[in-house]
Each structure stands twice: as structure tokens, then as C-alpha cells.
Amino acid sequence: MSSRLSTGGKLIDRSLSKEFMFNGRRLKGFEGDTLASALLANDQVMVGRSFKYHRPRGIVASGSEEPNALMETGSGSKLEPNQRATTTKLFDGMRVKSQNHWPTLEFDLGAINSTFSKFFPAGFYYKTFIHPRFAWKYLFEPIIRKAAGLGNAPKEKDCDTYEYFYAHVDLLIIGGGIAGLAAASSAVKSGLKVLIVEQNDYWGGRAIVDEINIENGSGSDWIYQQVKSLSNEKNVNLRLNMMAAGVYDHGYVLLHETLTDGSNKKMELRQRLWRVRAKQTIVATGAIERPLAFAGNDLPGVMLASAVRDYLVNFGVSCGDRTVIVTNNDDAYRTAILMKNAGLEVPCIIDARPSVSESLSKQVQSLGIKILTGKAVSTVTGSKRVEGVAICSHAGSGEVLETVACDCVAMSGGWSPVVHLWSHCGGKLEWDKKNYMFKPDLTSAPLGANGEGMLTVAGTANGFLISRDVLSDGYTKSKEIIKALTGKVPKISMEKAHSGDESEILPVWFMPQGATRKLKSKTWLDFQNDVKVSDVELAAQEGFESVEHTKRYTTLGMATDQGKLSNINGLAVLSNSLNVSIPDVGTTTFRPPFQPISLGAIAGEARHELFKPIRKTSIHNWINANGGVWEPVADWRRPFCFQRNGESIKEAVEREIVNTRTNCGILDASTLGKILVKGPDAARFLDMIYTNVMSNLKVGKCRYGLMCSENGFLSDDGVVARLSDDSYLCHTTSGGSDRIHAHMEEWLQTEWWDWKVYTLNLTEQFSQIAIVGPKARQLIEKMGVDGLDLSPEGLPFMGFSEGFIAGISVRIFRISFSGELSYEIAVPALKAQEFWDLALISGEEFEVMPYGTEALHVMRAEKGFIMIGDETDGTVIPQDLGLDWAISKKKEDFIGKRAQMRSFMKSENRWKLVGLKTIDPSVVLPDGCYAVDGESNSYGHKNMIGRVTSSYFSPTLERSIALALVENGPDRMNEILNFPNLDGSVTKAAICDPVFFDKEGKNQNV
């Protein structure tokens, strides 16, 4: 069994015990434990079920490469699924549940899949669920979704907070092992700004466990000293619990910092996503041990040899009383030595190599541990945990020679440098023929903005496996980088690590060499996704020769551990099946993030009220307090209507319309875009920007104008006022002000840069308040005007004046979007609420009422006025909307003119604007519905001949009205069109003039 030893454990504090619940059982751990070490200390060897076959699975690793031990921690608003037990800190009162089983971890019904595993080969889903088609959606997928999958998504909102932080450094060092620390100490004196980060919560990496000697002391002492002296340096920043998730162009690196362990029940800042811009980066991320592939290697109790060592040294946890070591290299011997020295049994070391000679093996033998050379594991025995190993010759097919009882198998297939970060932004790999691993090809580094390398790799990550070389490479790489950054070669005292030579590794990708198909189908490559040696071989046999195809077909390396343990073994099996070398098979692409990061960290602060900016006008709070029903208009909020007690929204809208048309309405039109265009060439410029002529507009007058894109399509509209000879105020739509201002600037800066024009977006300087209706003039006069003549002659339709109303400085435009007598009054935004309040007081006797956007929309539709975004969709030209009168024929050029000359823009068959009246006046056509002509095209689709663009019930006309684009519409007056509805019924409507109300304009010309 696995247990806590009475002594030892470098990272734990035995004086602080921690209680936690695992699947309802109360267990104990210590301060400093990870969840994994605490579970092992309590003999909880089985921790989950596999993805596909629901096989019992145990902890394999001790770090971020762990494929099996994914847990659900916390509850409610603190629930976090898929937490890796090996990297999750234990805290007092922690509640943990294992995942992917039903009903319990020990008895899982899904495990029946394992019994039938030969019916679930690679590509099973592709092969099986293709017919009948409908069954996938209704039968197979729901069942598979239920059976597969990891943790449950939290049901409550995450109560914690997350944030970003932008940092700029000269040198970023990723990895706080000896290579990283050596690099950081070298950089101290250079004066460079250095950030060194480590994903664990302690410095030193593997050197803490594998006691090494540096100079005359222990590795642990050296690490302690380095960290201590670095902490005192102003230009160096050291950060633990910070995982480098990804490397991107131009030295951009994403770092994920875990700030708290989740033990706090209240809201807290949980994680921080660092967006670092580094001039240079040194990746010193070490290596990950590779599992060996043998039958039964997925049984709980089969672990990486280095992990067994980690649990023993760092946490004082024995992973088994009797541990059999299986290896193809010297490193696993260290595990044997440490276990034996801790008083535990190591019955034997099974070494696939024919012979071993170096110092480690001698040490092992002196401890009385048997070394079985040239041997392999035929199979691991046991059902829910290891009970023994059956040993065979590595050269054979798996015939059992002897069986050794044990409760833990520590395996080592060699090491793979962590090259992920090197590869993220284009670093290439090369095959190391001596150590049988991929390592960075330093001649093809990821390039920065200047075309020079921006990232290098040092230490074990660079393929050095012996501490002596690892430390020295840390110094060397740092030296090169400092020279690249400062131009000077730094003086560095390079300290030395001492280590003996090791004997060579034997490449073993599965064992024994001639394993039978039966053994291979119980030999796991990818633990999380249940991919076996037999699956990869089957894929190769079925023609999946590319590693990228094999990956997708078998799902090898596609689990949440991203194949950290499985990739190399899988590649090797594929290369073996295809009979080509491993480097010729190639690797799959490494992509960020290195480790999964939470959606909370990705969202950062952009949640709740910070999710999306909301723009508010000066009248916003008043509207909010007076029944305003909000709707989003671009980033603005505008009131759809003002709802009164007991009134439905429809009733409110109709009341507002009727009142505006009979008395007086007031509208907050502040969101309207207002762009000031000024300069000697302003008139010439606007003649290019607008389809109509603006240069002949008289000072003091307004003109409605249209803007098109260079592709000819209608882009925005609005009223232009000429303020003076050389200045214009251009009104845009509410959603269009930023876009149109940018459009003007783009043309000015990049095409007509010699024209003397300046533009400024003044949208927010002025609030625009529209006073509309037959009594509008009386209302304003009541407010008290100074310097203004509001008489029809003094301020005619499409004119504007400047003066004072109620003592407030205003610019008053006589323009109308409703067909009524209407004034739009621009007041400084900070005065807008005051003006609004005064208008309401003065307006009481004229029965003034505020109205919202829906009333505005209905009134403009009654008048047949188009709305950008309703009647236009980026494919509509002004000519389609009967706006030919606003397109100058005299002007030689304007933006969009050439495009509108193209044959299809002039086609007779274009869909053009018409009005529609439903035969049944109470029926309102659905927005966006289509008219059909009863014929079908060659695909059997019904021919569509038009579409509704705006549709309302008009209280003015007491009937439904609609605007539509209909093929050749204006020539089809009074024709009745059919609009099919979703329920199969058809609504009939007659084509009519798009101006439904007061065509002659007598309401506005008063």
C-alpha cells in the first residue's frame, strides 16, 4: 500500500495537519502537500476512471504532465472541475471528488466498455456511427456525451475575480531549476530587467529531489543561496506559481499566475494572466520522464520512477511497500536507491538493456537490489491496483519467466525535454540520436520583430540530462543572451555541478520487443484518452501515415495533458509500424497553452458590469428613473419607450406616437453622431464623401446626405449643416459616428493628404434634444428664447440658428425625422439634463411626453424614411431605396460613384424599396420575411422576390405598414405578394408607395 513515512518530506510541514474530504471520506494531509501526495499518503491509489473504457486509473506523475488524477474541487460558486491533483495544493477543509465514473469510483458501470474493448478500436466512432444519419443526432451523440467527458461544468457563477497584468522585461526566464537560476544570477550585474518564473511553489525543480552537488555544497543549499541573493536585487523579479502558457510573436508571452489555493470561501482575486513583452526569453523548463509501454501499464500503482522519488523525498510518501523498477536507462536506479534507503522493499530492477556498468548500478547492487538485465515486463497483474509483475525476456514475445509480487511499479523510458514553449512560435526540433529524444534545433530559433532570435533554451530543456551540463548550459545561454541585449560579453563566475557519467539509454518504445497483439492491446500509450499500442498500429495499417492524421484518428495526445507523456511513445510506435525513423515521422505541432488555463483568467476583469462598455447619454439617469425600457443601440443604451404604470410596451409606444403627432414629444437624440469638418478644402472633401453636393450648401442651412463605401453600397446617412464658409457639422447615425469619423480620417490621411481639412468627432460634446409635434414651437418659445427667431420665416425647414433657450447656449436645427414640426437642439452635454427638465416644465401645458426609439422608428417608417441597418445591409445602394435625388449627376467623382456604374448596379432586376400594406390590416408582417413568386429554382428552392426591411403597426394609420425591398418593386404597384410564415400559412400584402403618411409634408411645413 502507499503510505506516509514517519520521517522525511522536504516540502511538507508535519506540525500543520490538514483535513480534507475525498468522495465523502475524511482524510488527513499536511501543509505543503499536493492533493496527489495527500491521496497517496492515505493509500488512495485509484483516483479516477479513463475516458473511453472507464478503466481504474491511478496517479502516474508528480507534476503538470499527470494524465489521470483530474478532480473536482470545491462546491457552489467555488467549484472547479478538472483540477490536476499533482499541481493542486491541499488546504484544510478541501472537498474533492473524482470524475468520470457512475455510480462510484470503485464500482463503475461504464467499465463494461473495457470488457468489450476489442469492439472499440481506433476510429470506432467514425466507423460505427455514420449510419443511419439521423441516429447520430438523436441516439448516439446524447449517449456518448453522457458516457464520455471529464468534470461537470459549475452551475453557479464563479465568485472569484481574475485580472490581467501587462509587464515589460528585458529578459524573461521560464523555469526556476538550476539552469534558470544560473541564468538569472548571470544577468544580475548586467542591469537588465529580469523576470524569472516557476510553475511550482518552490524553486529548484528536480535538483531538490535528486541531490546533486554544486561546488562544495549540496544542490539544495546552492538553490537557497541563489534565490536569497536574487531576491535582494532590484532588477530581478522572482515569481512562483506562475506557468508560462504560451509564446507568441515579437516576444509576447502569456504567464498564468495562481494567487490563492481556493480555500477562502469568500470572493478573492484567484488568478492573474500576465501579458509579458520580453526582449529575450530563456526557456529552462526541464524535461518530462517517459512512461514505458507494457501490458497493464495503466493499472493504479504503475508510476513514473521520478514521481515515486518525488513523493518520497518531497512529501515523505511511499508509493508502495514493494516497488519493482522497470527501466531502459540509469536514472530510475536513483528511485531504487532512495526507496531502499527509506527502508522499503525493491525486489528487483527490470532493465531492458543487455548490460549495465556504471556507478549507479554498482551502488544498487551494494544495497542488495537484484538487477535483471535484458528483461521486460510481460504484464502487470492485478485488477484495481498492482499486485505483481510477470517478467519476460525483452527480446522475446512475452513468455513469462517469473512473477514478482509488488504493489508499485516505477517505470522510466528516458526523458523528453519540455520543448513546447520553444515550438509555440516556430522553433524547430532535432532528433538527439544519443538520448533518443527531440530537442530544440538552436539554429532555427523563433524570430523577433528585428528578425533575430528572441528565445533560447537552456539546461535540460535543451537536451542536457546530467546536472553538470545542465548548470553550465544555464550560464552559457545566459551569457549569449546578455551579449545580444547589451552588446557586451558579461563576466560571469560559472559555478560547477559534479556528476558522474551514466550508461547509455536503450530505445524501448514498447516491451517486450516481440509483444503479441494480445499484449499490445493492453499496453497504453495515452492514459487519458485510452489509446493503446494496438490502436496506433491499426491506424498505420489503415493508411494513416501522417502523424497529424494518426493523432486525430486515434485521439493520441489530444487529451487535456496534450500528450505530454504519450507523444513520443506514440510516434515511435507509428514509426515502427511504418518502418521509417522517428525524425522522419515528425512531430505534431505544439500549441499554447502549455497547461489548461481557466476561462476566468482568459476573461480577466471583463465580467458582469465590465463585460462590455456601455455608453450613457447625459439624460441616462433620468430615463432610468422615468420608466425607460432600455435597448442597446451600438454601445449606447437608448429607451425603447417610456412605460407607465399598468401599460404594456405596445400601449406605451402607441401613446408616445399619438401624443407626438397631436401634441408634442421630446426625444433624447444625443447619440446622433456629430463630426466637425473644417478647412479651406472642407467643401471639396465633403463632395467626395457624400453622394450629393455639399459645396453649394449655404451657410446656415442643412442638407440630408448619403455616404457610400468605395464599393458603392450605402454606408451612412444624416443631415449636414454648414456652419461657416470653411466648416460643416456632419450628423451621422447613432452607431456610425466612430466608424464615419474613421472613414473620413482614412481618406484624408491616405488619399487626399494634401487637402487642408481637419475633422473632429464632437458627438459627446453636445446632447441633442428633439422637440417634435404641432406644439413644438410654442413649447420652445415658452422656455424663453434669446437671439433666435423661431417663426417659419426666421427658422425655416432645413435651417439652423444659434442662440439661447432658457439661458442655455444652443444650436437649433429645424429638421424632422417624423414628418412633424420638429426642432433638434444641441446643448452642451453638461447642460443637457437642465435643459431637459426645463423643457418638461414648460411643456406641461402642451402635454409634452418623452418618447423612445420605437416611436421614432414607427414615425419615420410612416413617412417612408429609411434607416441605416434596417433598409440597408451592406448590399444596398441608394438607387435601390429611391434616393436617386440625393446622388449628384453633376459631380465627376465621389466615393462609390465608379462602383455604382457597374452593370449589375444598374440592373432592372434589383430589389427596390416599396411600401407594403397587408390585406388584413391588423396583421403585422414579421421583420425580415421573404416574398415568393410561387416558382422554384433548379435546386427546388422557392424563388424569392423580396424581403421586408421594416414592419410596424401604425397607430396613426390604425393599420400595419411595412417597408420592403422587392424585385423591380416600384413598377409593381398594387401587386399582391405572398409572404410564407414559419407555420406554413401565407400573409398577403399589396405593394404601395413607401410614404404612408402626409406625403405632401403639410405637417412639417408650418
Partner 1 sequence: MSDYNNSIETFFYKGEITVELSKPKGMITLKGDLERSNINAGVIKTLELPMPKVRTISRKDGVQISWMAPDELLILVDFKKVEKYIELLEKNLKGEHYLLANVSDARAIFNLKGKGVREVLSKGTPVNMETIKIDDARRSRLGQLPVAFWMVKNTEVELVCFRSVTEFIFNWLKVASAPNSLPRYID
Partner 2 sequence: MLVILCPYCGVEAEETELTAGGEAHLERFGPSSSDSEFENYLFMRKNEKGITFERWHHTYGCGKWFHAARCSMTMEIFGTYPAQTSKPPKKLISMIKKKRPEWGEGK
**Residues engaged in binding partner 1 (CB under 8 A):** 161, 163-168, 193, 234, 237, 257, 269, 272, 275, 277, 605-606, 609-610, 612-618, 621, 636, 676, 678-680, 727, 756, 758-760, 762-766, 807, 828-831, 833-834
Residue 56 CA to residue 46 CA, distance in Å, equals: 6
CB-wise, 337 or 447, nearer to partner 2? 447
Residue 216 CA to residue 519 CA, distance in Å, equals: 49
Q: Give which of partner 2, partner 1, none residue 249 binds (C-beta under 5 to 8 Å, depending on kind).
A: partner 2
Contact 565, 559 (CB under 8 A): no
- From the CB of 594, what's the least distance to partner 2, in Å? 17
Residue 744 CA to residue 963 CA, distance in Å, equals: 30
Q: Give which of partner 2, partner 1, none residue 817 binds (C-beta under 5 to 8 Å, depending on kind).
A: none
Asked if 484 interacts with partner 2 (CB under 8 A), we say no
10 Å CB burial of residue 146 (0-12, 13-18, 19+) is exposed
CB-wise, 100 or 241, nearer to partner 1? 241
Asked if 251 interacts with partner 2 (CB under 8 A), we say yes
Asked if 613 interacts with partner 2 (CB under 8 A), we say no
Asked if 252 interacts with partner 2 (CB under 8 A), we say yes
* Interface region with partner 2, contact rule CB under 8 A, candidates 537-545, 896-904, 942-950, 974-982: 896-904
Asked if the peptide bond before residue 512 counts as cis, ω within 30 degrees of 0, the response is yes
Residue 484 CA to residue 472 CA, distance in Å, equals: 19
CB-wise, 414 or 448, nearer to partner 2? 448
Intra-chain end-to-end CA distance of the chain, in Å = 97
- From the CB of 589, what's the least distance to partner 1, in Å? 27
The 3-state secondary structure of 510-554, one letter per residue: CCCCCCCHHHHCCEEEECCCCEEHHHHHHHHHCCCCCHHHHHHHH
Contact track, partner 2, 681-720, x by CB under 8 A:
-----------------------------xx---------
- From the CB of 898, what's the least distance to partner 2, in Å? 5
- In the range 718-747, which residues lie near partner 2 by CB under 8 A? 742, 745-746
- In the range 586-605, which residues lie near partner 2 by CB under 8 A? none
Residue 413 CA to residue 331 CA, distance in Å, equals: 10
CB-wise, 615 or 988, nearer to partner 1? 615
Applying CB under 8 A, which of residues 7, 15, 115, 749 lies at the interface with partner 2? 749
10 Å CB burial of residue 940 (0-12, 13-18, 19+) is exposed
- In the range 641-670, which residues lie near partner 2 by CB under 8 A? none
Q: If DSSP codes are grouped into helix, strand and coil, which group holds residue 399?
A: coil
- From the CB of 628, what's the least distance to partner 1, in Å? 16
Residue reference for cell 528578425: 451
Q: Cα–chain-centroid distance for residue 756?
A: 44
Residue 551 CA to residue 490 CA, distance in Å, equals: 45
Q: Which of 87, 115, 377, 131 is nearest to 242 (CA)?
A: 87
Q: If DSSP codes are grouped into helix, strand and coil, which group holds residue 675?
A: strand
- From the CB of 283, what's the least distance to partner 2, in Å? 18
Give, for 475, the enclosing helix (H) or strand (E): helix 467-486
Q: Which amino acid is at 948?
A: V
- From the CB of 677, what's the least distance to partner 1, in Å? 9
- From the CB of 184, what's the least distance to partner 2, in Å? 24
For residue 37 the three cell numbers come to 501526495
| Other beta carbons less than 10 A from residue 99's beta carbon | 19
Which positions ≥6 away from 6 have C-beta within 8 Å? none
- From the CB of 166, what's the least distance to partner 1, in Å? 5
10 Å CB burial of residue 519 (0-12, 13-18, 19+) is buried
Q: Give which of partner 1, partner 2, none residue 751 binds (C-beta under 5 to 8 Å, depending on kind).
A: partner 2
Q: If DSSP codes are grouped into helix, strand and coil, which group holds residue 411?
A: strand
Residue 16 CA to residue 31 CA, distance in Å, equals: 5
Residue 366 CA to residue 965 CA, distance in Å, equals: 93
Q: Give which of partner 2, partner 1, none residue 586 binds (C-beta under 5 to 8 Å, depending on kind).
A: none
- From the CB of 990, what's the least distance to partner 1, in Å? 44
For residue 104 the three cell numbers come to 462510484
CB-wise, 618 or 879, nearer to partner 1? 618
- From the CB of 760, what's the least distance to partner 1, in Å? 5
CB-wise, 527 or 685, nearer to partner 2? 685
Contact track, partner 2, 204-243, x by CB under 8 A:
----------------------------------------
Asked if 249 interacts with partner 2 (CB under 8 A), we say yes
Asked if 897 interacts with partner 2 (CB under 8 A), we say yes
- From the CB of 252, what's the least distance to partner 2, in Å? 4
CB-wise, 117 or 444, nearer to partner 2? 444
Q: Which residues bind partner 2 (CB under 8 A)?
A: 248-252, 277, 447, 449-451, 710-711, 742, 745-746, 749-751, 753, 892-893, 897-899, 901-902
